[in-house]
Every structure is written in structure tokens, then in C-alpha cells.
Amino acid sequence: MRKGAPRRDPVPMTERRERPRVVIVGGGFAGIGAALKLKDADADVVLIDKHDYHTFQPLLYQLASGLLETTAVGHSIRDLLHGQDNTNVHKASVTAIDLEGHEVRCTELEPLGYDYLVLALGAEVNFFGTEGAPEHAFPMYTLPDAVRLKEHVLQRWETADKDPTLIDDGALNVVVVGGGPTGVESAGALAELYRGDFAKDYPNIPQEKARIVLVEAGPEIFVMFKPDIREYTLKALDKRTVEVVTGDSVAAVSPTRVTLKSGTTLDAHTLVWGAGLQGNRLVQSLGLELERGNRIGVGPELTVADHPEVYAVGDIAAITDSKTNHVLPQLGSVGLQSGEHAGETIAKLIAGKKTKPFRYRDKGTMATIGRGAAVVEMMGGRTMKGKMAQAAWGTVHLALLPTNEDRAKAIVDWAGAGLTHQRTGRITVSAGDD
Ligand SMILES: Cc1cc2nc3c(=O)[nH]c(=O)nc-3n(C[C@H](O)[C@H](O)[C@H](O)COP(=O)(O)OP(=O)(O)OC[C@H]3O[C@@H](n4cnc5c(N)ncnc54)[C@H](O)[C@@H]3O)c2cc1C
């Protein structure tokens, strides 16, 4: 067997190549993790992403609520891979992948053959067929999503300040869908923006007329956490004036109204969607058997059935934890660790070394509800709440940030917001402005 080729299934070379080519599709936690681990591999590495930036999704709600600037949440992919001589980055959308022909097709690029492929295209919003949601809801999964939401909310307050009749029409009311971390964190952050900065920015607007309502279809929010955390979270949301509705779900959305399944209509010009994810839709065209949520099932080495040269990592993959036998959640730490494992494994195969199955190192499940209010549940079931949990959240998430520069920037922004309670990002700048 040629040194550097995958072990079981020799790859038909569609073109003559000096050394193996590794194509990584997606530059999120998983794709970047894989690329960094291939730094010293005797291979040509090509990373393709439709954006030229890596998005740090856990901080999207901080961008949407004006706490952080865009550059603290998005980082140039090229910059992250500087100094990696064997790696090329392309900004292009992947349109098709031919697993049999070992070829990736993209916009603005010639078809690209590969010896190894890392599928790291992440997940996308799932509106579950809710009427009006694709047109009118604000999802919270991408950088443009967060910027769009921030600008929409700022614009609603500016408009209502000039025309107070809009307030009674629900211009300032926000409905947040989903009682998981994305929904709870978004509702908490928006409530702090409303009751803190906006209360001072718009002294003529009566605060009680600007409602934030969190809607969860199940009987409780934060079902992934223990009861003490759920209780704490409800109190923390209540303190921030977030109204929580459980056991009801959104049936339809229009630009100014949200209709619930129970028949209740909420006057709200903003609906934030944090209710559901599914694997990137491209997976449906791969001819693979998919698992729940459109995710690709992988084996212990994170390879795809019948394709030992293809790795699926991060949110796009259904990875079974070897310790618990449960499918791992769609988390940044799972994305980063699985991507790194794929990169390391490919580098070892190329060097003719032995590889190991993937083992996830659990850092706990955590979420932030607001300033000084966070929750953590450790692997053994121990829980933390409040400031201690916020410090743990900060430590884990700082470690996930891609560079020291990003870490320094986030610390300055978080410390600044903590001391001054100011959300300096609450301005709108448009390229079309004078
Ligand atoms: C609002 C929010 C808050 C979160 N908070 C936390 C948290 O606190 N802690 C935590 O651990 N996790 C959190 N997560 C989950 C975590 O962010 C994800 O699990 C992680 O981003 C998954 O990494 P990934 O690399 O698989 O996918 P992604 O980070 O989504 O990266 C996928 C990449 O693929 C690219 N791409 C997609 N389609 C194409 C295409 N057709 N062509 C080219 N490129 C394409 C995208 O541009 C993107 O860069 C949060 C997620 C969200 C949405």
C-alpha cells in the first residue's frame, strides 16, 4: 500500500498528485480543529468555507445584544491558518460532493479531488415547517443572523421613539422560541439590553410596554439540566423580566404577530428562533443513511460507513460517546475535539502510524442567563450557579476561542461590560450611509 493512503480502500486518483490531498469543507470549530492538526502532515490541505471568517457561535447572542463587536465573534480563517505552509484556504460554497468519485464541487472553483475528506459543514436552522418562520423569524446561528437581529431591534426602538403608537402594536416586544441554551441565553441578553441600556437610551418609552416572552413547547425549559438549575434559571429570567411560557409552541409568524398553537396571539415585531437545528442540507445528497436531525452517523474513528477516507465531525455528525453510548450533543467542544481527532488521525495515517478511536473529554454543560448568572452541570452531575458558574463558563469558552488575540479582546469586552454595564456595540453602521 502506498504510504499516506487510507488503509482499507485505496483511493482512485482523479489527477496526478505529488502527495495526498486533504480537503476540509467547513471552517467552524471542527474544520479549523482538523486543519490545525494537519500543520506538519506531508499533505496538501485545502480548507473551503463559504465565508472568509470562522464564527464563534457561543457569542452570537452577545453580538446581537450589543455586548461584543463583530470582530470578537468572527475571525479571519486565513489568519488562523497563517504559518501553515501546506494549507490553502478558499472562500467558496460547496455545492456537491461525489463520495464515489472522491470529488468536491464548489462555486468559483474547479472540481477538487481528494484523498481524504473532512466533512465539517455544521448545522443549520430547522423551522419545523412553521408558517411564516423562514420569512419573518430571526434565527441565531450565523454572524449575519446576529447582526440582522441587532439592527432590527435597534431600528424598532428608534422608530417607536419617534412614533409611540407603534409601542402598543408590539414593536418592542420580542418572542424567543426555544427553552434550550440558545433561547434562554438570547432572552436573558436581550432583557439586560432592554432594562439596562435602552431604559437610559430611550427615557420616554415606558419599559413595561417592551416585553420579552420565551416560549418552550415542552413542559419545562432547560430539560438537559438538573431541576435545581431549572429552578435557578426561572428565577434569573424572572428577575430580568423575561416571561416564560411552557407547554405551547409557535404555530405561525407574521411581521408583527406570533400565533401560538393554543390560539394565543402575541403582538410582537420580533421573533427570535432558537428552537431547532438540523445537519447541513448538503448531507441529503450524499447517498448516506442519516440519523436523527439530518446528522451523519460515524464509527469510532469518526469515518463514514464504507468510506474510510471520509471523516464527519462537529454538528454535522452523530458521534456516539464511547463512555456513555449516547450521541454527543452539538457543542463547540465536541466540534473542536472531533475535528482535531480527524486531523490527527489523517496525519498519522499519512505518516504510516497507528491511530486511536475518538474519546470525548467532557467539559460539562453550561449556559449564561445574564451578568453574574450562569449555570454549569459537570459530567458527574455536580452543579454550579451564579458568579462561580459564570467564571467556569468564561474559562471554558475562552479556551475555545481560536487565538490569544480573540481571548484578550473578549476579556476586555466582558470586563468593560461588567464594570460599566454598557453595551458599546449598540450602533448601526451601514455601507450605504453618508
Ligand atoms: C447561538 C448558539 C450558541 C451556542 N452556544 C454554545 C456554547 O455556549 N457552548 C458550546 O460548546 N457550544 C455552543 N453552541 C454550539 C456550537 O457553536 C456548535 O456546536 C459548533 O459551532 C459546531 O461546530 P462545527 O464546526 O461543526 O460547525 P459550524 O461552527 O457551524 O461551522 C460550519 C462551517 O461550515 C461552513 N459552511 C456551511 N455550509 C457550507 C457550504 N455549503 N459551503 C462552504 N462552507 C459551508 C459555515 O460557513 C461554517 O463556517 C452554540 C451554537 C449556537 C448557534
Rounded to the nearest angstrom, the distance between the alpha carbon of 120 and the centre of ligand 1 is 9
Locate the ligand 1 atom nearest the alpha carbon of residue 316 and give its number.
26
145 in contact with ligand 1, CB cutoff 6 A:
no
139 in contact with ligand 1, CB cutoff 6 A:
no
Question: What local confidence, expressed as pLDDT, does residue 426 receive?
Answer: 83
Q: What is the full per-residue pLDDT of the chain (434 aa) written as tens digits?
A: 344 545 433 344 446 678 999 999 999 999 999 999 999 999 999 999 999 999 999 989 989 998 888 888 899 999 999 989 999 999 999 999 999 999 999 998 999 999 999 999 999 999 999 999 999 999 999 999 999 999 999 999 999 999 999 999 999 999 999 999 999 999 999 999 999 999 999 999 999 999 999 999 999 999 999 999 999 999 999 999 999 999 999 999 999 999 999 999 999 999 999 998 999 999 999 999 999 999 999 999 999 999 999 999 999 999 999 999 999 999 999 999 999 999 999 999 999 999 999 999 998 899 999 989 999 999 888 999 999 999 998 888 888 887 888 788 777 777 776 666 677 788 888 777 77
Q: Which of 80, 104, 121 to mutate to test the pocket of ligand 1 (most atoms within 8 A of CB)?
A: 121
Question: What local confidence, expressed as pLDDT, does residue 2 receive?
Answer: 44
Question: What local confidence, expressed as pLDDT, does residue 405 receive?
Answer: 81
The SS3 call for residue 298 is strand
Beta bridge partners of 151: none
pTM for the model stands at: 0.92
- Rounded to 5, what percent of the chain is helix, strand, coil? 35, 25, 40
- Specify whether the CB–CB gap between 102 and 15 falls below 8 A: no
pLDDT digits 0-9 by tens, 194-250: 999 999 999 999 999 999 999 999 999 999 999 999 999 999 999 999 999 999 999
Question: What local confidence, expressed as pLDDT, does residue 8 receive?
Answer: 39
332 in contact with ligand 1, CB cutoff 6 A:
yes
pLDDT digits 0-9 by tens, 346-403: 999 999 999 999 999 998 899 999 989 999 999 888 999 999 999 998 888 888 887 8
- Specify whether the CB–CB gap between 408 and 397 falls below 8 A: no
74 in contact with ligand 1, CB cutoff 6 A:
no
DSSP string for residues in 126-189: --TT-BTHHHH-EE-SSHHHHHHHHHHHHHHHHHHHH-THHHHTTTT-EEEE-SSHHHHHHHHH
Question: What local confidence, expressed as pLDDT, does residue 276 receive?
Answer: 85
Locate the ligand 1 atom nearest the alpha carbon of residue 282 and give its number.
41
- Specify whether the CB–CB gap between 120 and 31 falls below 8 A: yes
Long-range contacts of 98-102 (CB under 8 A, 24+ apart): 99/286, 99/287, 99/288, 99/304, 99/307, 99/310, 101/12, 101/14, 102/11, 102/12, 102/14, 102/309
Q: Computed over its alpha carbons, how large is the radius of gyration of the chain?
A: 23
Locate the ligand 1 atom nearest the alpha carbon of residue 106 and give its number.
42
Q: How far apart are CA 391 and CA 24, in angstroms?
A: 34
370 in contact with ligand 1, CB cutoff 6 A:
no
Locate the ligand 1 atom nearest the alpha carbon of residue 49 and give its number.
44
Q: How far apart are CA 420 and CA 67, in angstroms?
A: 11
